[in-house]
Each structure stands twice: as C-alpha cells, then as structure tokens.
Structure 1
Amino acid sequence: MAIAAGNVLKAFEPQSVEQIAASHKGKPFVVLVWSMDCEFCQHSLDVLSKARSANPGFDIVTITTDPLSDAALSQMVKKRLSGIDLLADAWSFGELAPERLRYAIDPRWRGEKPRSYWYDAQGQRIAYSGVITPSLIEKMR
C-alpha cells in the first residue's frame, strides 16, 4: 500500500510478529490485540492513548483481529485509532484464517481480548489477558 506512513492499516500475517519486534529492537513497547466489537478493548485503547500522551516515548502497537479485507470495518478501525493518535503502528488481520494469525502471535493464546504483550528492551515479552489500566501500565513498564 502506498499511503503515507501513519495513515494506513498494515496487513498482519504470520511473519508480522518478527517485523514488529525488529522495528522496536532495543526499546520496550506494548502490543495490544483488540477488535471493534470488544468493549473492554475500547477502554484499553483509551487508557493506552492517555498513557502515551503523558509519556511520548511509550511505544504502542495495535493489532485488530478485524479483517483488513472488510473495507467498511477497516475504515471504522482507522477512524477509531486516528481519533486517539494510535494509527502510526496499526495492524489488521490479513488474508489467512484468524486461528493461524492468533497462533502466530502466541500459540498459547485462545483468542480472548483484549490481549497485550509487554516487551522489554531485550525483546522478552509478558502476555496479559484483560483490561489495561493505568496501574497495569506502571507495573508492566
């Protein structure tokens, strides 16, 4: 896709996990896996957005399980993320079956959302299932 960086949803495919980790090498960051129909995900997005406003160096990657192939839904995702300044590093499930894409993220993950992965500067990650709160961010960062 040849749209300006920061204004596009990237297709999440199995190799995307490595691409995301490589692009943040040496820095801590969080990956939030979410969907438009997940109410707890919406709250988590808002909390992450506020945390980044207070800490501009806080790197946040979002992966929606909503399919990129659904143009109307993709527009809703872009609007939601741009409204809270989280569209810069945003991914949406690509062409493969959702189960394969979930497995690529984490073989132990069963699809519950929100799901977050907290990476340290060495690339080690901790998985967390549940709503993101300010106290969780403090604990995980």
Structure 2
Amino acid sequence: MTAAPLLVLALMGAWLLPPFTALALLRRPGVGLLTSVIAGLVTVPLTPFGWMGLFQGVLWGVLCEIPFALTRYRRWPTALFLGTGLVIAVIGLLPTYTTYGLDQMSPLALTLAVGLTLGSCVLAAYLSVLIARALGRTGIAPAPRVRATDAPA
C-alpha cells in the first residue's frame, strides 16, 4: 500500500514548524531545540510511538539549530530556513527509505514520495518564517535587532 507512507512523508514538515517558528520569531540560541523537545513531549502520550516522539523532537530540534549555530546566531535569512528544511528532508528520507518501503515502490511513487517530503519540509520552513513575521507584527515578541548582515543588499 503506497498511500500511508506518502501521507506520512507529506506531513514530515509538520515536525519542523515549532522549532523553525520559534527560531524565526525569537532569534535566540536553543529556542528551536527547546520548542521541538516540548512538541516531542506532547506526542509521547498521544501517539503509539511513546518516548520515540521525544527522541524525534530532540533530533529535529538539533538539526534545525545547527545552521544558525554555525552562523553564531547572527544571520536569519529566509534562504537559510529553506535550505535547512531541504537538508532535514534529505536526512529524514534516509531512514525511511526501507522503513516505509520506498525501496519497493514504483519509480513514480518513489518520485512522488521524495517530492512530497522535500516539499513538505521546505514549505514548513517558509510557513514558519511567515508565521513568525505575522506574530512579530502583533508585538507578541520583541522586534529583533537588525544587524548589517541581516540588511538587504
């Protein structure tokens, strides 16, 4: 059956919404990881995977933080969020290749699975930036300081 794995892969980006939104809104070290851990804890009693939800939350949170840590939390361009979402999608596809039976799918279904995963994670990254901007306009968080490296060229 191809539909169930495709649906799961299409929703993979949902795991990235909390950490990316927190990072885009607050622009502070560790907020992506903290938010993702909290999201993982919420899933523990609500899914059949139990504590693996926390593990997955930690994993996604760390992966979301790495690119911003490499820039020493000084750069917050949308392209960095999108690129991070793309890399996380590729990383997420590796263990699911055999787990979800991608290796046994037809070439068309495999292409669709990869496309849905990549699209889902990149879309989640972009939506996170949009959500953070909208929340920032409401005054829910302090306006981030604009540094010369953040200013458009």
**When the two structures are superposed, what TM-score results if normalisation uses the length of structure 2?**
0.27
Between structures 1 and 2, the one with greater strand share: 1
Between structures 1 and 2, the one with greater helix share: 2
**When the two structures are superposed, what TM-score results if normalisation uses the length of structure 1?**
0.29
